[in-house]
Amino acid sequence: MTQPTTTLALALRDGGYAKAPTPQVPDSLAPFLDLRDVPLPGLAPGQVLIAVILSPVNPSDLFFVQGGYGQPRVQGQAAGFEGVGRVIATNGADALIGQRVAFLGTGTGAWAKHAIADAALCIPLDEAVSDIDGAALIVNPLTAVALVERARSGGQAFVVNAAGSQLGRLILGLARDEGLTAIAVIRRPGEEDALRDAGAAEVLVTSDPAFRAQAAAVIKAHKPRVLLDAVGDQATADLFFAMPSGARWVSYGKMSDDAPSLTQMGQFIFMDKHIEGFWLSRWLPSAPADRVAAVVAQVQTRFATGTWTTRVATELTLDQAIDGILPAYATSSGKVMIRP
């Protein structure tokens, strides 16, 4: 089979980083993406060419296309961090030919008919894992496993905000399975029971007038020492300062445009508190390979047995994506999927 030299893709209009801080969600994707044919370079050793089946829209994708993510854009290259597809060519990884794999768009992006990926980061899929679950098998599930590991290092109980998101629910389920006490924080009421079903021991709603009093009581009862934060607003900072000595605020996302204030700096000194970050792209290369392999196997088993499922907001074709992603993203906590 001859390898294609171009592919249809949602291509980045600009390269590098944004010149100013970016919002979590832009007003429109049209200034950032362009549907067109882009060149497919030859495969370097260890790379595979994938016919993409399905690719999700993650919050990190929206930061990335705006230039607000931790790695620079390459002008004219496809966006899209992960997906599921079939390997149709390789340079030195022949065992993967014809396999359906979950992949990271490390060579070229996943929002395209074809993508180039590193064979070492491709995960061959069991038949029992659906395309939908396979498309979102890497970024969120590996992040969930790594974050729960970090939470466990702080003790029995932890706090997780944006708990209604796909990633939040993965974290809650993992926490329950591992016997940890997860305190879920959401912005608006309505999903409390669903989150308890998903694994939350407690649910706090930041828009509730009694939020502070309820948070104080829950913190007193469970003494959580890790705060897994995808929001980064003042309510997050207030929760952190209400937590006991030794508490760690672990920022892994920034869904709010707030700049939270450090109202009690003395707690860093006298209560040994910390603020730190988590980024999958840093954790993955630094994690031991056997640990990553074990995590990947665990993640795949959870999807194959139905313990975890990926909730889908909608599926869009490439030519529907630029106009369709943001409206679907705004109205559902499920994943928006692109089917190229």
Identify residues 55-84 at the interface with a second copy (CB under 8 A).
Answer: 63, 68-71
C-alpha 196/C-alpha 140 separation (Å) is 20
CB of 257 to a second copy, least distance (A): 10
Contact segment (CB under 8 A) with a second copy among 136-144, 151-159, 260-268, 296-304 equals 260-268
- Determine, following the binding rule CB under 8 A, whether residue 314 of this chain makes contact with a second copy: no
Contact between 278 and a second copy by CB under 8 A: the answer reads: yes
Name the residue with tokens 């990271």: 104
Task: Report CA 138 to chain centroid distance, whole Å.
Answer: 8
- Using CA atoms, how far apart are residues 201 and 172, in angstroms rounded to an integer? 9
Is 282 a binding residue for a second copy by CB under 8 A? The answer is yes
Shortest Å, Cβ 24 to a second copy: 11
CB–CB of 101/121 below 8 Å? Answer: no
For residue 279, state whether it binds a second copy (rule: CB under 8 A).
Answer: yes
Using rule CB under 8 A, residue 209 touches a second copy: no
Q: Residue from 1, 20, 98, 261 that binds a second copy (CB under 8 A)?
A: 261
- Answer for the pair 284, 291: CB distance below 8 angstroms, yes or no: no
Nearer Cβ to a second copy, position 84 or 171?
A: 171
DSSP per-residue codes, 124-175: EPPTTS-HHHHHTSSHHHHHHHHHHHHHHTT-SEEEESSTTSHHHHHHHHHH
Measured between alpha carbons, how far is 299 from 312 in angstroms, rounded to an integer?
Answer: 18
- The least distance separating a second copy from the CB of residue 251, rounded to whole angstroms, comes to 4
Residues 106-135 that bind a second copy (CB under 8 A): none
CA dist list (Å): 43 to 5, 152, 242: 11, 41, 52
Residue indicated by tokens 């597809």:
85
Q: How many residues bind a second copy (CB under 8 A)?
A: 34
Complex with a second copy: residue 133 or 229, whichever CB lies closer: 229
Q: Does position 273 bind a second copy by CB under 8 A?
A: yes
Q: If binding is defined by CB under 8 A, does position 265 make contact with a second copy? A: yes
Site residues (CB under 8 A) for a second copy, limited to 219-258? 232, 237, 251-254
Q: How far, in Å, CA of 240 to CA of 248, rounded?
A: 8
Task: Kindly indicate which of the ranges 30-38, 81-89, 272-280, 326-334 contains the residues binding a second copy, using the contact rule CB under 8 A.
Answer: 272-280
Question: Cβ of residue 104: shortest distance to a second copy, in angstroms?
Answer: 17
Considering the complex, state which of residue 2 and residue 261 has its C-beta at the smaller distance from a second copy.
261
Tell me the C-alpha distance between 104 and 96, whole Å. 15
Biggest CA–CA distance in the chain, Å, is 66
Binding site for a second copy (CB under 8 A): 21, 63, 68-71, 232, 237, 251-254, 259-279, 282
